[in-house]
Structure 1
């Protein structure tokens, strides 16, 4: 059980650990039930207007009196159906899911502002404990951090030696095509991601710092993808028994098989009718809940190729050469599905 000791107030699973304020060494909690969490793409303020004013508690006042539930992770390269995967695995009696909890982003921002590593480790450890609270006894908790948190992925795996992770990634060409299709906002996003990866020291591809200013938007997208691919390859080598990789094309092509493989690898309990889950979850847009027509993903890819095919092709070829030079594998070991 987790409670605020100074108030004798029990923090039931509906109280989501939402933010961390390093200036006051305090955590903020908001109320959001299972249905609300499942209905939104990310656990951000703009997606949870019903959460109301947060409950604020200092770290010293939060008492932990019982071990947390099993905790597992889905780390991802973005635009690879990660929200879809969490929605599908979040099933009563089996697992509860968290989609990009902001508290982990807060820790990344604090780290980038120069926080001491030992303080970061302490708060990250406490945050993982606060997040590992499923709605029902016997469920595991599956956390899908934002991919800006990937620089802390290895630290989280080290802190939780019983945790397992699925590394979900889109193929390089598909990722670049997704960014091209999203226009200005997608291109801005990949540059922001790359700037954070550079601060994290994740980009080790042989470039000089000035080179990044000369890259096109889609080259920046490719560099960010390669940095994450290199991280995933290292995680597979470091934890071969605790990490599995999953190509998003296989997830969408063989969803029932993929979900059953996830369940087995993560050791999830409960009886889940995954064909029914696929019929429900995979038939809706994971971001807005609208109906998703059969073949729409492939149609989107074809559209991107028609509009931006020349640029996508040239950047993909360029990125493959960079990957070969830097030793970044295009096909990751530890595949959940072949």
Structure 2
């Protein structure tokens, strides 16, 4: 006999029922049962990583919201990709203090819905309710730290506007490191940056760079990567300047070099009770000792060795494109070092 599902009230009170997708055609929320341990094992909250064997539980949005509990405090890790954001989100899975959600697809669905012509007020309403569904704590007193996919970055002003108490980190990789990372990922990395380029173009984020549209098809893959980096860097710069101490900025090399200091400063920004012992436990534990995406062990210096190998293979291309990008940045007033650094 198949066990019956718990009531809608019990489901919505249980953070193990992840608000996974939004279906605008039926105005419905899809929920997946994801235990906390599964979050720790999973790099991204996508069907690819969660598995597609279990059918989601589908609720009308109004029914889900009717039984949704009061939300926990929510904060954000925004990023421009390939900058250790998954690792950092995993570090906030600390029972009793916080839970990190790694790229919930529900937010991707909303940016896609907007691209398909959804009206702004409709997207804002579902975004507000979606944040409430994501901010269900696993334990009393916990905050929720959400790391959206970077394709959600155009919604950062709306996300922070809807949650005025939220704080955010804007995390990025330095330009040269980012370009080398894309180059050494081969075809898939190059396809990914072209897909991102198209999304940023749709959002109007490439226009301020001063690249003539007629020149887009003539850009190399690494130039496309650099243009995407510049567009996101400009957005982060603008947000940091407008929102002041609500946001802080950090680059991946500083995070890797100073993980304890970075976590301590970020805990203060988010108002989380992570003391020195807790931070030492996280930094010296498995999270910082393995690749956050595939779980492979990271020996000391491994990340730096991989970066150096990428530069050795693609150094000439990366160097020339980085110089080109810096000229665009100087002309457009885009800072290589963002304001409001998390660490002095």
Secondary structure of 1:310 counterpart: helix
- Given the two structures, how large is their TM-score scaled by the length of structure 2? 0.94
Q: Which aligned runs of 4 or more in structure 1 are off by greater than 6 angstroms?
A: none
Listed as ranges, the matches of 1:111-260 within 5 Å are 111-203=114-206, 204-260=208-264
Q: How big is the alpha-carbon RMSD for the aligned residues of Structure 1 and Structure 2?
A: 1.6
One of 24, 35, 57 as aligned partner of 2:59? 57
Note if 1:110 corresponds to 2:116: no
* Counterpart for residue 21 of structure 1: 23
Note if 1:337 corresponds to 2:308: no
**Conserved? CA contact 2:17–2:31, under 8 Å:** yes
| Structure 1: unaligned runs, 5 residues or longer | none
Note if 1:39 corresponds to 2:41: yes
Deviation at 1:7, TM superposition (A): 5.0
Listed as ranges, the matches of 1:292-303 within 5 Å are 292-303=298-309
**Conserved? CA contact 2:31–2:56, under 8 Å:** yes
CA 37–8 in structure 1, closer or farther in 2 if over 3 Å, else same: closer
CA 8–161 in structure 1, closer or farther in 2 if over 3 Å, else same: closer
**In 2: Cα distance, 1:210 partner to 1:160 partner:** 40
* Counterpart for residue 277 of structure 1: 282
Equivalenced residues, count: 335
Secondary structure of 1:167 counterpart: strand
Listed as ranges, the matches of 1:59-74 within 5 Å are 59-62=61-64, 63-64=66-67, 66-74=69-77
**In 2: Cα distance, 1:131 partner to 1:236 partner:** 24
Secondary structure of 2:114 counterpart: helix
Secondary structure of 2:250 counterpart: strand
Deviation at 1:195, TM superposition (A): 0.3
| Structure 2: unaligned runs, 5 residues or longer | none
**In 2: Cα distance, 1:7 partner to 1:184 partner:** 45
**In 1: Cα distance, 2:94 partner to 2:190 partner:** 34
Q: 1:180-233, CA deviations, whole angstroms, 9 ceiling, x for partnerless residues?
A: 010000000000001001111112211222221111000000000000000101
**In 2: Cα distance, 1:66 partner to 1:98 partner:** 18
**In 2: Cα distance, 1:288 partner to 1:43 partner:** 14
CA 56–177 in structure 1, closer or farther in 2 if over 3 Å, else same: same
